Structure 1
Amino acid sequence: MKSGNKKGILLLIFISIILCVACLIEYALLSSSREQNRKLRSGQVQAENSRKATAAKKKQELAGDGVKAHGKLSVKGIDLTDKNGDKVQLRGMSSHGLLWYPEYTNYASIYETKKHGANMFRIAMYSDDGNGNGGYIQNPELSWKLMQAAIENTLAADMYAVVDWHVLREQNPLHNVDKAKEFFSKVSALYGDEAGVIYEICNEPNGDTTWEDIVEYASQVIPVIRENASDAVILVGTPDYSYSITKVKKDALPYSNLMYSYHFYAGQYDSAYKNMIEDCQKDGIPIFVSEWGINTEQGGQDALKQGTEFADYLNQNGISFAAWSLCNKDEVFSSLKPECNKYASWKEEDFTEVGKILFSVLKGR
């Protein structure tokens, strides 16, 4: 074989070897790339599945504790129970006066409380604000429009609406009993068949108001509600700003599906709440904490600790509650700072020290 031919053959062999090596390297690189892509896609799928699972869990949690889940409520013994007869705890925020801070009763604000764990919203309709411009008696048309909108927004969020006739400045609910009957006749006529509406007939009787006065008042108002809402849950206020609940024991009202309101403000009151509540419950008196809050002006930082302990007690015992209040009013009871002008999507820095506690306990046990 000629020398030239040999050289040609060797060159071809060398080129073939180079090409084979290049192909092997390319194959290895492609295999590595495919493996990396597979792992990347797998990670993306896992992350997406995790996000979907988290979203589904969150959606289930939000949907599983409201009116759709629990339906029409009733009172069995000392417990608030749902459509299945199981004990249920309602937890939520209370509005401030509806004519003063209506912006916090919009759907977005109410739903935001639900995202923090609430399944109820209390709507405070001051009956008479005492200065001629902030109550139902002074402004019935606007009051009714705002109340109806707030109820609709609460029900749309699949939450229970507590309709609060906010007796305060007039002290004795008997002073405006005819207006109360008018108001609750309108509400019950419209929402008598609605499982998500609860009626609170007198927020905080005070001054010289006796339990006998409250019994007389309730005996006139409850039948008006029952004409349209035959078995709705009704909350009845108690003397001394709904603090003296033990006075109910001597003469409980003879109606079904009633609960009695107890109000507590950490920093203002001592820690006798446990004895008072349990004393009533032993005698079959069902308690609903339709308003509680924290007063750091009187109790300082100790009020924050006492408030946390009180809320923990309610959650541990499944006692329903509404916290005062959802607004940015410049006062110690407000949950939002005065400079916060947002109506939803609140962040930690938007809450007052009191508000951080009020919102943290909404999830319950």
Structure 2
Amino acid sequence: MVLKKLLMGVLAVAIGVIASPISEHGQLSLKGFDVVDKNGQPYVLRGMSFFWDMPGWGGEPFFNSGVVNTIANDWGGNVVRTPISQLNESRAKAMIDYAASAGIYIIVDYHSHCAHKNASSAQSFFGNIASYVKQKNYVHVLYELYNEPLYENCNGETDTQSGGTLTSWNTIKQYAESVIPKIRANDPNGIIIVGTPNYSQGTEAARANPITGQKNIAYTLHFYASTSGHGSLRYNLLRGKCNDFPIIITEWGVSESSGDGNFTKSMNDTWMSWIETIGASWANWSIMNKSETSSALMGHASTNGGWSDGDLTPSGKYVKNLMKNLNAGKGLSSVGLSPANVDCAQLEGGEQYEFVRNGVGNFGYAIQGENYMDSSNAKTVETDAKGVQNEMYLTSQNSGSEAWAEYTLMDIPAAGYYVFYAKVGANSDGYLRYSVDEGATVDSVKYTSTGGLTTIKGFYNKIALPTEGTSNIRVSWKGDVALDVFSVVVADSADSTELGIKAGEQIVSIGSAKASVSDQFRFDARNRSFVIPEGYERLSLFSVKGRKVYSADVTGKANVGLDRSVKKGVYMAVLSGAKGQTSLQLKVTE
């Protein structure tokens, strides 16, 4: 009997080892878009990201084995992401050990907005972590080199307010290429994840010019599902899938992009149906008990794990349900989802470009209504109850008083006229007033009643931006008004006609043509033709609003004339093919 019990105990331990994600799937790698296991089979990572580990920020106490075990065993997670903001090697190594003991994978993340300014320290940190991985014979570690690049001239890991030019993909790429060899010296196979421009939303810039000569390199996409303006990023994910370009979602939240605000379940369900149909790996933000929407834990929750459902926020309950069921092999219906339409054919024809996010060129300045920098007498409202296009909007808290919201417009290429676009719902007629840089430009546009807040009406107006670089714009209104979303974009010739801008007025001179990625792709104004490098198949022209206005097959062609149907205006020419994408800005003057 004693022998039988002993054998049963040994068998139970053996089964436990076999059943863990690490023991079952081993060393992960990349195959096209997909993460695959040691057998070459697709394997989706679904797990949790810890919060900032900055002293005094409240996230540090959760970095322990009890929490990692709870995520692995109670929540069914197969990966944790550990943000290491100040390159604390001892903390990173401890978390790697905790994950190994729990049998799950770990993403070691340099949680910085300014990593490129600290490249030498990052090289040392990741080199030492990879050496530790080799020493311990680990196969469960993924390396995330740069959390969320933001500004070229940033100052410190947490800096999000420096302003100026967004960190370019070329800068990020050069930084990554300086760190990767330090990892590969000791870990030749581990997956390395590289951040992308503009809070890791610019995966298209990386896809146009990826890191070469290396294997198992993936790229980061971050989103917050209750921010309506992030919805278009789903197409970045689809472009990755359809072009064998690996993207890993190392951070997403159920909330708005601030980490707080609304949790709109329908918007989250849309995102998760899309992600799961595509088969992308993800880590949710975050294991934290801070009083904000994206936190998974209530304020009273233990910092050592072992939580009951009563310890979880709506975010925690939602994400735990996803992980526990989907990682157990259950279908989408088990979590109340249905497969999404992710057919690659939908990328053709009616394709829309959002130039700020995809990094291919720099045309638009899309500022979402919920992402205001400062405001007075205004609040963000969830629209499920109001029925306003299932989005979120700003409304006045006291309809009898003036409300305002202020935004920052970055990377303005030149002083000139731009298009101001807004969507407004109102119970009565009124004026939307706006000023730039504390009065350098003051203007207003009249709106008419939409019969209440259940209807959103869009309009255009011209706006003068007085300087290159950065400007602040303040939008104000009175009464019962909903401001859903607005943007400021370069005005092309068609916009100029619509807005009544007179001939001879300045319309943002971008110059003739300049390549934004590759000097080989250029426009010869003398011959009115494009010079096409080898390895590309399609030339597309987009208006500054992102509408495709022309497309042609350029396979095997060295030169392609600009079609005479293209009218005067400013365009983005995008060349695509097996080599990826490259682009140039083009001003057609005749």
List aligned pairs for 1:212-361, cutoff 5 A.
Answer: 212-254=170-212, 255-268=214-227, 269-295=229-255, 301=262, 303-361=264-322
Which residue of the partner structure matches residue 33 of structure 1?
none
The answer as to whether partners of 1:94 and 1:325 remain within 8 angstroms in 2 is: yes
Does residue 188 of structure 1 match 2:130? yes
Q: Could you list the per-position Cα deviations for residues 179-203 of structure 1 after superposition, in whole angstroms to 9, with x for gaps in the alignment?
A: 1001101101110342111111111
When residues 205 and 296 of structure 1 are mapped into structure 2, their CA distance, relative to the original with a 3 A threshold, is closer
When residues 317 and 64 of structure 1 are mapped into structure 2, their CA distance, relative to the original with a 3 A threshold, is farther
How far residue 297 of structure 1 moved from its aligned partner, in angstroms, is 8.5
* Secondary structure of the corresponding residue to residue 199 of structure 1: strand
The answer as to whether partners of 1:63 and 1:158 remain within 8 angstroms in 2 is: no
Structure number with higher relative contact order (C-alpha < 8 Å, ≥ 6 residues apart): 1
The answer as to whether partners of 1:188 and 1:228 remain within 8 angstroms in 2 is: yes
Q: Could you list the per-position Cα deviations for residues 134-162 of structure 1 after superposition, in whole angstroms to 9, with x for gaps in the alignment?
A: x33xxxxxx22222111111111001011
How far residue 296 of structure 1 moved from its aligned partner, in angstroms, is 5.1
Paired amino acid for 2:142: I
CA–CA separation in structure 1 for the residues paired with 2:265 and 2:99:
28
* Secondary structure of the corresponding residue to residue 228 of structure 1: coil
* Secondary structure of the corresponding residue to residue 122 of structure 1: strand
* Secondary structure of the corresponding residue to residue 320 of structure 2: helix
Greater share of strand residues, 1 or 2? Answer: 2
Which residue of the partner structure matches residue 39 of structure 1?
none
1:158 to 103, 126, 129: 103
TM-score, structure 2 as length reference: 0.47
Q: Could you list the per-position Cα deviations for residues 5-36 of structure 1 after superposition, in whole angstroms to 9, with x for gaps in the alignment?
A: xxxxxxxxxxxxxxxxxxxxxxxxxxxxxxxx
CA–CA separation in structure 2 for the residues paired with 1:267 and 1:62:
38
* Secondary structure of the corresponding residue to residue 94 of structure 1: strand
The answer as to whether partners of 1:70 and 1:82 remain within 8 angstroms in 2 is: yes
Q: Could you list the per-position Cα deviations for residues 294-329 of structure 1 after superposition, in whole angstroms to 9, with x for gaps in the alignment?
A: 225878556333123323332333211011111212
Instruction: Point out where structure 1 has 5 or more consecutive residues left out of the alignment.
Output: 1-51, 127-134, 137-142
The answer as to whether partners of 1:233 and 1:259 remain within 8 angstroms in 2 is: yes
List aligned pairs for 1:131-146, cutoff 5 A.
Answer: 135-136=86-87, 143-146=88-91
How far residue 65 of structure 1 moved from its aligned partner, in angstroms, is 5.1
How far residue 63 of structure 1 moved from its aligned partner, in angstroms, is 5.5
**RMSD after superposition:** 2.3
The answer as to whether partners of 1:242 and 1:262 remain within 8 angstroms in 2 is: yes
The answer as to whether partners of 2:49 and 2:83 remain within 8 angstroms in 1 is: yes
Greater share of helix residues, 1 or 2? Answer: 1
CA–CA separation in structure 1 for the residues paired with 2:17 and 2:282:
18
CA–CA separation in structure 2 for the residues paired with 1:119 and 1:358:
13
Does residue 205 of structure 1 match 2:163? no
Does residue 174 of structure 1 match 2:116? yes
Instruction: Point out where structure 2 has 5 or more consecutive residues left out of the alignment.
Output: 1-7, 152-165, 332-590
CA–CA separation in structure 2 for the residues paired with 1:295 and 1:149:
30
CA–CA separation in structure 2 for the residues paired with 1:311 and 1:75:
22
How far residue 274 of structure 1 moved from its aligned partner, in angstroms, is 2.6
When residues 91 and 60 of structure 1 are mapped into structure 2, their CA distance, relative to the original with a 3 A threshold, is farther
Q: Could you list the per-position Cα deviations for residues 330-353 of structure 1 after superposition, in whole angstroms to 9, with x for gaps in the alignment?
A: 222210011223522211221111
The answer as to whether partners of 2:48 and 2:81 remain within 8 angstroms in 1 is: yes
Number of equivalences: 292
The answer as to whether partners of 1:334 and 1:354 remain within 8 angstroms in 2 is: yes
CA–CA separation in structure 2 for the residues paired with 1:91 and 1:302:
20
Paired amino acid for 1:164: D
CA–CA separation in structure 2 for the residues paired with 1:93 and 1:308:
18
Bigger Rg, which one? 1
* Secondary structure of the corresponding residue to residue 305 of structure 2: coil
Q: Could you list the per-position Cα deviations for residues 101-155 of structure 1 after superposition, in whole angstroms to 9, with x for gaps in the alignment?
A: 23322112111111212011111001xxxxxxxx33xxxxxx2222211111111
